[in-house]
């Protein structure tokens, strides 16, 4: 079962929702998927709650996966696509916080992943841990979270933002092209 904040795009509910799930079902694993903005908003303080109560749960597995791109990416992309505004780093860049290390300081497990080849082994480690675990997954802020089908107005806003002096325009175009090519061309891995 999964829980989301509905259509409100509410930040910061993933970790509290996972804690609530653990209290409702202490014998089941719970997984929270959080962005780094939400983690900085209240997820880190909720790690204190996890550290306080986890030993009461019959199954201690509560995994917090932080998608760490050092940016309020949803806001950045929403403004690019809907308003055609370029990224404004002053309001959207975030400091790089070592979430896994913070978890370890609280007696929880943690691992930072900055190599895609390590994602699987990191999940294996988190799922087999004897305590709650934070996966700090470093991601690329220049990969657009575009839905499979976008409207003409969204495409126009996206192009307008990039043409308006977006500081990451070159990286965004490169990442978008890579993503598009990956969906169109068969994988050549292992050949």
Catalytic residues: 78
81 three-class SS: helix
Angle value at C-alpha 77, between 74 and 83, nearest 5 degrees: 125
Nearest to 43 by CA among 5, 4, 12: 12
Residues 6 or more apart in contact with residue 158 via CB below 8 angstroms: 80, 81, 84, 144, 146, 150
CB of 32 closer than 8 Å to CB of 63: yes
CB of 86 closer than 8 Å to CB of 167: yes
CB of 159 closer than 8 Å to CB of 149: no
């Amino acid at each position: 079962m999964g829980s989301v904040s509905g259509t409100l795009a509410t930040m910061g509910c993933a970790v509290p929702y996972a804690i609530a799930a653990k209290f409702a079902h202490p014998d089941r694993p719970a997984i929270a998927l959080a962005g780094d903005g939400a983690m900085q908003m209240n997820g880190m303080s909720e790690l204190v709650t996890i550290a306080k109560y986890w030993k009461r749960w019959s199954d201690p597995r509560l995994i917090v996966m932080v998608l760490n791109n050092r940016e309020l990416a949803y806001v950045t992309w929403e403004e690019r696509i809907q308003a055609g505004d370029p990224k404004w780093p002053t309001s959207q860049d975030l400091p790089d916080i070592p979430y896994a290390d913070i978890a370890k300081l609280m007696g929880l497990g943690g691992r930072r992943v900055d190599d895609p080849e390590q994602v699987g082994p990191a999940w294996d480690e988190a799922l087999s841990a004897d305590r709650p675990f934070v996966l700090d997954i470093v991601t690329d802020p220049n990969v657009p979270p575009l839905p499979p089908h976008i409207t003409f107005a969204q495409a126009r806003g996206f192009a307008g933002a990039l043409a308006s002096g977006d500081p990451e325009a070159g990286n965004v175009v490169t990442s978008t092209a890579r993503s598009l090519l990956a969906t169109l061309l068969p994988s050549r891995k292992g050949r």
